Every structure is written in structure tokens, then in C-alpha cells.
Structure 1
Amino acid sequence: MTTNIISRPIPQTNRQTLLVCFMAALAGLLFGLDMGVIAGALPFLAQEFGLSSHQQEMVVSVMMLGAALGALCSGPLCTRIGRKKTLLIGAALFVAGSIGCAFAPDLQILIVSRFLLGAAVGVASFVAPLYLSEIAPEHIRGSMISLYQLMITIGILAAFLSDTAFSQSGNWRWMLGIITFPALVLFGGVLTLPESPRWLMMKNKSELAEKVLLLLRSTKADAHIELEAIRQSVQMKQRGWQLFRANSNFRRSTCLGVLLQFMQQFTGMTVIMYYAPKIFAIAGFASTQQQMWGTVIAGLTNVLATFIAIGLVDRWGRKPILKLGFSVMAICMTLMGWMFFTGISSLTQQYVAVTLLLIFIVGFAMSAGPLIWVLCSEIQPLAGRDFGVTCSTMANWIANMIIGATFLTLIDTIGSAGTFWLYAALNVVCIVLTLIFVPETKNISLENIEKNLMAGLPLRSIGNPR
């Protein structure tokens, strides 16, 4: 059976599908902008408002609290009003939050506005991968969901470039407010998107679902085959909480989704994105301009390395790339910790530390960054998909909040070396968990994965062909 799957000719991809996926992935651009912009703005915010380390952590982490609540609300919204309208709400929150940050007169208003941005990010991080998994055909599903992660990295890089440009004047309001413009573009773009055919079938709108599939698939035959597969799978209605309570197999997939998101966040990549200038300062780069340009280089590396995932995820598969990425990150964190422990005094040592940091970013961007989102959107059965993805996305932001709210405290408590060694150990744990629990889902339909899960196969085997 495996030989047949490998030798099967790859179907052509409809250009309209690629366009729709690109527009949906724009949500990732806003996600990345909001993640990256705070890195450059934080030193100026701390100076203007006189923020302590704890207050700086609060400004960073309150966005994750909003994101967790946004993700929690997205599941019921997606089920009730659809993927498109929920994404539209997220775009509106992006606009409101970015305007609020730009005009914040004090710390309290800034925190409220960051919370709104977090809610927008939570909605986007839930809906966009889910929508992409339901719109994209299976032979490019991994690449299209990875495109979402690519847009996140581009957003982070754009934020770093913007921060660097405005850092000369110290104008943090423009740093935070410039996000308003792409947020408006996203809002207009979402208006042009079709609704998910799976959601339409769940709402007994089969004619509309057929029209969407005819628009997005290369042939009528492909559209009708997929429509029939969806018709069979949607016979089981969305009943996430009830299914979670009653079905141990669904509990397994939900817990796996939560575990995957914690694995992604505890690699240590989040702290590099949020506190990049601080890390470059620890490495011995004293001036603000050196720190900001170092941050830009880190963001560019993140973007370029994501193309590795897009090119390989549907060729090599999810699991081999994850194992490679976690291994690279563990090695880099270990060596960086050692350098901080022994001391960084010469220019050569500074550049070695930066090189290790960039290799770490490559390891993340080619593996855990995009592939965790791919897997979390693939492993949940249709009847509980909204609930399962809600839980995993909320877990991402809870873990994100923990990381963002503790990094400076860890540095102050156990030192730079101890902090990086801690993350090295966590990456080793991620390798073990990948070997034990993570399935390979390359070239396997969502319906096939669901059948394996509900048949009680071990989690690492639910991606096996039937």
C-alpha cells in the first residue's frame, strides 16, 4: 500500500486554491507583526513609563493572555458563524488593538490594547490553520499550512525592520501603530474568501460546498470525490465537549494537540523573538543599533529557514523534520549556555554566539515552527475538530505566556547560562516525545487519520495508510 501511495501521480493544484490560501495566510502576517514589534518597542516603553522587569514581562505576556482567551472563544464562533466570519472578527480586533497601542497615554491603556491584539492573534492562530487544512487538497496541505507560518516569520521580520527604522527617533508609537495598515488589508482580503466546504456541509449547505470545491479543485471529478468524503465524515455533528467526555480516542488526540503546542513553545524560540535585543546585549553587543540590526538578521533567518519546511514537509514528512529540528535546537542551546557560562569577551566569541543563535532559529523555523500547526490541524476528528484545535491553540498561548512572563526572571535568578541549558534539556525531552507520540501524516487524508484514531491505533500510528 505504501508503494502505491508513493508512485501515485501528484494532482495539479488549482491557482484559485493557492490564491485563497495565500489570503487566509495573511492572518499570520499580523500574528508575526504583533509578536515581533514589541521586541524593539519594549526598551523605549520601559524608559518612557519607567517599567520594571516585572512590568516589562507584563506588557509582553498580556498579549498571550488575550490570545488564550481569543482562541478559547474561536471554537464556538467557528462552529456557529463559520471560519470566514470568525477570521473577519479577528481582523477587526487587529485594527482596534493596534490603534489603541499607538495612542496609549499610560501603561493601563497600553496593556488593554495589547490584550485586544492578543485576542486577535488568538483568533487568527486558531482559524487560519483550521481554514487552510479544510481548503487545501491533501497533497499540498502541509505546505499551505506552513505558508501560514512563513507569513508569521515575514511579519516578525517586518516588525524588526520597522522597529530598527523608528529606533533612531525612539518613536514607539509608530512602531506599535503601523500594524493598523496591514490589519485593514487583511480585513478587506477576508471579505473575498469563500467559506470552508467542510463547515458548509456541517450546516447542510451542500450546494454551496459543491460550488466552493468546483472553484478550488482542478477537475470536477476531484471536487465530487472530496465532496462525497466530506459528506460521509460530517454525518457526525460537532459535539466537542460531549465527545471529549465520552470518547477516549478523542481525548488522546486533544491531549496530543496540547502536548505539541507546549513542545513548540518550550523550545525557547519565543524568548528569542520577544527579547532578541536583550539576548544580543547579553552576547556583548552594547549599542542599540547593533542589537536592533542583530534582531533583523535573526528575523530574516527565520523567514528564509521556513522555506525549508515548505519545500520538505510534504516530501520528507512531519516526523523526520521535527526530530532533526529539535536536535539542532538542543545542541545550539547547550553550546550557547556554555559560552555564557565561560564568558564572552572577544569579538570572535560574540560572532560565534550569534552564529549559534541563528542556527537555532533555522532549526526551529524548519521544524517545530510550522509543523506543529500542521499536525494540530490534521489529527483532530471532524466531530471534535473545533474543540480539539481550540484546546491546542489555547495551550500554545498559555505556554507562550509562561515563557514570556518568566524569561527575564530566569535570567535574573539562574543566570544566562542556566536559562539556556534549561531550554536545551527541554528540547531533548521534545525529541523523546516526538519518537513516542507524534504520527506521520504525510499524504494521508484527514478522513483516513480520523478512522485510524477512532479505531484505537496508537497515536504515532494514526497517520498510517489504510
Structure 2
Amino acid sequence: MNKYRPTPDKTPTANALHPNIYLLSTVIITVIAGFLYGYDTGIISGALLQITQEFDLSHNAQELVTSAILFGAVLGALGGGKLAEIIGRRYTIMSIAVLYIVGVICCSLSETAFWLGMSRLLLGCAVGGSSQIVPVYIAELAPAHKRGRLVTYFNISICTGILAAGLVGAFLQHYWSWRTMISVAAVPAVILTLGMLKLPESPRWLVGQKRINEARKVLGMMRESDSEVVRELWSIEKVRREASKSQRAGWGELRKPYVRPALIAGLGVAAFTQLSGLEMMIYYTPTFLSDAGFSHTAALYSALGVAVIFLVMTIIGKLLVDRVGRRKLTLIMMPWAAVSLIILGGIWLFGGDNPNNSWIIVACLFAFMVFNAGGIQVIGWLIGSELYPVAIREKAASLHAAVLWGSNLILTGTALTLVHWLTIGGAMWFYAVLNIIGFLFVFFMVPETKGKSLESIEDDLRNNNFSPRRREAVK
């Protein structure tokens, strides 16, 4: 135990900033990547009208330009884990920030729709990579009792980026070209690159590289007492020693029986985060409302309302997730999201053309956003940052992000076709069923991780004490 004891010049009291302030500052700089994720994926809705006019895009070509970033995100998510394993979390985020800069510049300089699509695919690699590594980096820096609140800053940053994109698209449409709308994202990307220069590496990655003194120093800057540093460092290295043989197994470790419950729970949450329909609402709300007889202006303002609710509910979810718990918060909110969609679908099926129903449509739409954004959306990235054992954390987090982005791609690529087949009302009922299935999945497969360290979650896996039913029986 003595080898972990902080030396005098590495204790928390030696820092210029209080540990809590330093940790929060680190998180705020890092989650700029989330803002870029939200803005770069969301700005296409406001820029697409101009892009379509300039390049004379067909309906299918518009879908390809829009979804190229999502395909790139899958690739970036799968590749980000390996990079983070080799060069560390900090340098991976810096590399992704540079990729954001290159991507938006290439998009803004594209002379054809083909090159715009390729540039957005490149930009998608940055989006996918950041969604994989940023939650992991924050989770590995945070103490267990603050991990949920701190990781969900990433969600808040994503929502802020989506809202910023919506505001730019709505109010600067006649002042900025689509190239300007896209290229301004280079500014926060530069800030992220420069900000990461001063931030620490993950102590858990440092321990894995046998750089114990550096890990001790990082923990000392972010924990309020020496005893916390000693206890956490000992726990991290203990788990690392147990996983050392597994780490050499590579991707094959994902097939180990003890890992399977975490993969099922984490990847299932990743899928239902998207399949529950929130991204579909963000991308296609103006289209749905226009089809329901809303004016273009009313549809646009309603879409902004959706983005505002997404941000507000994510902030509320951040405040609740470490108090209420990941599992409980989702189980409370998800049934009401399904009810909102059932009512919304019924109105569209049996009275969507009645102008007197307009306020009910908007109310149900906003209600769905409240319950979905404040529930499963809060835990989507959080669960992916805390469930997976250290031996496969980079790889499993990559797979988690890839499943999330792949589900987004499937949802986005099929939403209009589903509406064509089932009508808008039938599509809403279909998404309601997915919300019900998602609720049942969380109920039976996802345990509570509130207040537990990453190492204790891994101990539960190795001791076959991970499933919700087994955990409740133990209690």
C-alpha cells in the first residue's frame, strides 16, 4: 500500500485549483467534442435546402449526403478504440479535434455533391470517434459518486450543438451560405485542440502502461484527500493485474462468458437509444408537421422547440442520474414516451387533417421529447462508459458507439420509407412498440450502476452478480 502513497509535491493541496474545479474544467473542455458532434450532425437540416439548390440533388441524393456522416460515425467509432488503446485517451481526443477541423474545411470547399458526401463521411469519423472516447475519458477521470453527472455533460454538449445548428439554420439562412454554416464549426474544434494540450491523461490508461507515478499525480489533482488517491489507485491496479492476461486476448475477450452480460446490456441500451425514435424526431419534425398541415414557419419553430426540450431535459437528467439511478430513471420515463407516441399516432391516423388537433400534435410531440430525452437518452453514452471491463473497455466502447450510430443510420435511412408504408400515424405506433420493447429490455437486462466504481462493476461481472434480478436478490 505504501507504494501508492502520494509524495508531498503530488498531493491535492499542491494544485493551484481545487480538485473539483480542476475536474470540472477538464470535463468542460473535453465535451466541446460533444458540441461538435451535435452541430455537425444537426446543421445539415438547415443547410440542405441551399445544398440541394446548388447541386440540384434528387431525393435519394439528399438522403445520401445527409446519411454519409452517420456511416462515417460507425467507422470512427470502431477505429477510435484501438487508437485510444495505443496512444491514450488525451491524444486520441486531440487527433479527433484535428479531424473535425479538416472535415469541416473539406465540406465547405466541396465543389460537387460527391466530394461533399466524402467530406461528410470524413467528418463522421471524427463524430464517431469522439462519441466513443470522450465518455470513456470522463468516466475514467471521475470519482464514482460523480461519474453520472460528469459524463452526461457530454449529452448536454451534444444537445447544445444540435440547438445551435437549429438556430443557425432558422435565423441565419438568408445571411450565411451553407459553406459558412458548416465551416464555423472549425472554431470550437480549434479551441478543443488547444484546450486538450493542458489536460491530463486518464489514470486508468496510465496504470495500464505501468506509469503508476503519473497516474497517482493525476488522481491527486482530482481527488480531495490522499486516502482517496491511495484507495482508488490500489483498486485500479488490482483490476489491471487480474485483466493482464485478458488484455492480450484482444477482440476474443468479447466472447468470454463473464463479459457477455455487460455487452448485452450496454449494446442493447445503445440500440434503443436510437431505435426509440428521438433522432427521427429531430431530423424529420418539420417534414411530419408540414404533412399535417402546419405552415413552414410553424413547423420550423416546433423543430426548434424539440431541440430546446432535448437540451433542457438532458440537463435535468444530468442532475437526477446520480440520485435516482440510471436504470430507475429510464424505467420511469420510457413508458410515458411510448404513451405519447401512441396518442400522437392515433391523432394522425384518425384526425390529423383537423386543424383543431394541431395543438394536441405539438403537445404529444413535446411530451415524447420530455420523456425520451430525460430517460434513455441520458444513459445511452453513460452506460457505454462504465459497464465494460478494463480488458475490453476500448474495444467494447467502440462497439457500443458503432451500434448506437448504426442504429441511428438504420432509423434515419428508413423513417421516410416507413411513413410511406404505414403513414405517419402507423410509424408513430411502430416507434411506440420499440419504446415498450426497450423498457422491457432495461427492466430484465440492465442493472443499476449508480455510485459504483468502475472496478466494482467489473467485480460484479466476474462474480456473476451483474444481472438486475441477481443484484436485487443479493440485496
TM-score range, shorter chain: over 0.9
Give the match for residue 392 of structure 1.
400
Is 1:273–2:282 an aligned residue pair? yes
Shifted more, 392-401 versus 177-186: the winner is: 177-186
Give the match for residue 248 of structure 1.
257
**What is the CA-CA distance between 1:458 and the residue it aligns to?**
4.6
Does the residue aligned with 2:324 lie in a helix, a strand or coil?
Answer: coil
**What is the CA-CA distance between 1:442 and the residue it aligns to?**
0.8
Shifted more, 236-245 versus 447-456: the winner is: 236-245
**What is the CA-CA distance between 1:355 and the residue it aligns to?**
1.6
The sequence identity of aligned pairs, in percent, is 33
**What is the CA-CA distance between 1:114 and the residue it aligns to?**
0.8
Measured in 2, the distance between the counterparts of 1:22 and 1:31 equals: 15
Of 182, 202, 215, the residue aligned with 1:176 is 182
Is 1:62–2:72 an aligned residue pair? no
Give the match for residue 402 of structure 1.
410
Shifted more, 194-203 versus 31-40: the winner is: 31-40
Residues 453 and 462, structure 1, Cα contact 8 Å, conserved in 2: no
Measured in 1, the distance between the counterparts of 2:470 and 2:258 equals: 11
**How many residue pairs were aligned?**
453
Q: Letter of the aligned partner of 1:381 in structure 2?
A: P
Q: For residues 462 and 170 of structure 1, do their structure 2 counterparts lie closer, same or farther at Cα, with a shift above 3 Å needed?
A: farther
Of 146, 169, 172, the residue aligned with 1:166 is 172
Is 1:97–2:108 an aligned residue pair? no
Does the residue aligned with 2:172 lie in a helix, a strand or coil?
Answer: helix
Residues 38 and 274, structure 1, Cα contact 8 Å, conserved in 2: no
**Cα distance per residue 1:221-276 (max 9 Å; x no partner):** 2112111111111112334413223x211133223222111111101111112223
**Cα distance per residue 1:360-387 (max 9 Å; x no partner):** 1111221111212111211111111111
Q: For residues 462 and 167 of structure 1, do their structure 2 counterparts lie closer, same or farther at Cα, with a shift above 3 Å needed?
A: farther
Does the residue aligned with 1:331 lie in a helix, a strand or coil?
Answer: helix
Give the match for residue 195 of structure 1.
201
Q: Letter of the aligned partner of 1:316 in structure 2?
A: V
**Cα distance per residue 1:265-320 (max 9 Å; x no partner):** 10111111222322332232222x33332222211111111122111111111111
Measured in 1, the distance between the counterparts of 2:460 and 2:183 equals: 47
Of 22, 25, 33, the residue aligned with 1:19 is 25
Give the match for residue 232 of structure 2.
226
Q: For residues 462 and 22 of structure 1, do their structure 2 counterparts lie closer, same or farther at Cα, with a shift above 3 Å needed?
A: farther
Is 1:425–2:433 an aligned residue pair? yes
**What is the CA-CA distance between 1:189 and the residue it aligns to?**
1.5
Give the match for residue 93 of structure 2.
87
Give the match for residue 12 of structure 2.
none
TM-score with structure 1 length normalisation?
0.93
Measured in 1, the distance between the counterparts of 2:431 and 2:419 equals: 12
**What is the CA-CA distance between 1:333 and the residue it aligns to?**
1.2
Does the residue aligned with 2:259 lie in a helix, a strand or coil?
Answer: helix
Residues 348 and 424, structure 2, Cα contact 8 Å, conserved in 1: yes
Is 1:122–2:128 an aligned residue pair? yes
Give the match for residue 9 of structure 1.
none
Residues 75 and 402, structure 2, Cα contact 8 Å, conserved in 1: yes
Give the match for residue 131 of structure 1.
137
Residues 449 and 462, structure 1, Cα contact 8 Å, conserved in 2: no
Measured in 2, the distance between the counterparts of 1:253 and 1:110 equals: 38
Runs of 4+ in structure 1 off by over 6 angstroms are 462-466
Shifted more, 110-119 versus 93-102: the winner is: 93-102
Give the match for residue 6 of structure 1.
none
Does the residue aligned with 1:150 lie in a helix, a strand or coil?
Answer: helix
**Cα distance per residue 1:390-427 (max 9 Å; x no partner):** 11111111111111111122222222111111101100
- Please show how residues 303-382 of structure 1 align to structure 2 within 5 Å: 303-382=311-390
Is 1:36–2:17 an aligned residue pair? no
**Cα distance per residue 1:336-371 (max 9 Å; x no partner):** 111221233454422221121111111122111121
Give the match for residue 285 of structure 1.
294
Residues 328 and 360, structure 1, Cα contact 8 Å, conserved in 2: yes
Is 1:210–2:220 an aligned residue pair? no
Does the residue aligned with 1:167 lie in a helix, a strand or coil?
Answer: coil
TM-score with structure 2 length normalisation?
0.91
Give the match for residue 11 of structure 2.
none
Measured in 2, the distance between the counterparts of 1:97 and 1:380 equals: 30
Give the match for residue 300 of structure 1.
308
Q: Letter of the aligned partner of 1:168 in structure 2?
A: H
Residues 331 and 442, structure 2, Cα contact 8 Å, conserved in 1: yes
Q: Letter of the aligned partner of 1:444 in structure 2?
A: K
The alignment's C-alpha RMSD in Å is: 1.8
Measured in 2, the distance between the counterparts of 1:364 and 1:422 equals: 15
Residues 76 and 126, structure 2, Cα contact 8 Å, conserved in 1: yes
Residues 68 and 119, structure 1, Cα contact 8 Å, conserved in 2: yes
Q: Letter of the aligned partner of 1:259 in structure 2?
A: G
Measured in 2, the distance between the counterparts of 1:462 and 1:121 equals: 37
**What is the CA-CA distance between 1:463 and the residue it aligns to?**
6.5
Measured in 2, the distance between the counterparts of 1:436 and 1:313 equals: 19
Residues 78 and 127, structure 1, Cα contact 8 Å, conserved in 2: yes
**What is the CA-CA distance between 1:133 and the residue it aligns to?**
0.6
Does the residue aligned with 1:456 lie in a helix, a strand or coil?
Answer: coil
Does the residue aligned with 2:323 lie in a helix, a strand or coil?
Answer: coil
Residues 410 and 419, structure 1, Cα contact 8 Å, conserved in 2: yes
**What is the CA-CA distance between 1:462 and the residue it aligns to?**
7.6
Measured in 1, the distance between the counterparts of 2:56 and 2:287 equals: 17
